[in-house]
Structure 1
Amino acid sequence: MTKYLISFPSAAMVVPAEELESVAAAAHAVVQEAKDAGVWVFGGGIDESVPPVLVDADGAAREGTYPQTAQLEGGYSVLELPSHDAAREWAAKIAAACRCAQEVRAFQYDPAS
């Protein structure tokens, strides 16, 4: 089976404050459904209050990131699924819960792992 990244940027999720609790409950319900189905691998939101750090091969670290990933934020789910169609079905469930479109990407298969 293939692992799929289902994600959205923070700016895509525009929810009135009074609806945040119901959106969170809906999102947690989808996560539980994925866990119950045995397809949940990992998920969560990027903590945007913690700045990114680049770490070199020698262990030297500095605040910052690659320019093309400076806007890496939002919510992410990794599911292990039998097909791209199944990933799209789960993305639709997450989109309904979070009230914003979801991006679906497949991880490459690594035969050594």
Structure 2
Amino acid sequence: MPKYLISFEKGAMDHIPEEDFADVGKASHAVVQEAKDAGVFIFGGGLRYDDDDVEHAVVEIDGTITDGPFPESKELIGGGMIVDVPTREAALEWAAKIAVACRCAQDVRKFMFDPEQDD
């Protein structure tokens, strides 16, 4: 089946009051559990950018490694989930559930099929 990345940009949840984050966490974890129970969940999580302990590096094509952070001009992913579903419509349904739970818009992108890696 096709795999889809459902994600949101860094800062997309900045409008949520701090006192509501526990509810957002519970709602998003419920959607993840639903996806697991449905057998479509592959991976998910948020990305951290807010402290000095964040491990981040950029590896250039010549192998040069530079420790982060990313330049602010780059579009950054705040978090996401990968699902393995039969159709785009199914991916959009999961994205709608995540959008409601996380209180922010979601980007949905299909991974390219690779016959050497995919079923």
Which interval holds the TM-score relative to the shorter structure?
A: 0.7 to 0.9
Q: 1:3 — aligned with what? A: 3
**Cα shift at 1:40:** 0.3
Contact 2:35 2:41 in 1 (8 A): yes
CA displacement, residues 72-97 of structure 1 (integer Å, 9 cap, x when unaligned)? 13111000010000000000000010
Alignment match, 2:43: 42
Instruction: Pick closer, same or farther for the CA change 1:5–1:60 going to 2, 3 Å.
Output: same
* Whole-angstrom distance in 2 between the partners of 1:57 and 1:101: 33
Determine which structure has the larger helix proportion and give its number: 1
- In 1, distance between residues paired with 2:97 and 2:74? 28
Aligned to 1:75: 79
Q: Identity over the aligned pairs, expressed in percent?
A: 52
Q: How does 1:1-113 map to 2 (within 5 A)?
A: 1-13=1-13, 14-48=15-49, 49=51, 50=54, 52-56=56-60, 59-64=63-68, 70-113=74-117
User: Quick one: distance in 1 between partners of 2:18 and 2:71?
Assistant: 32
Q: Secondary structure at the match of 2:11?
A: helix
Q: Tell me, which stretches of 5 or more residues in structure 2 are unaligned?
A: none
TM norm structure 2: 0.83
Q: How big is the alpha-carbon RMSD for the aligned residues of Structure 1 and Structure 2?
A: 2.2
When normalised by structure 1's length, the TM-score is 0.87
2:37 partner letter: D
* SS across alignment from 2:113: coil
Aligned-residue offset at 1:10: 2.8
Query: Quick one: which amino acid aligns to residue 10 of structure 1?
Result: K
Task: Tell me the secondary structure at the aligned position of residue 104 of structure 1.
Answer: strand
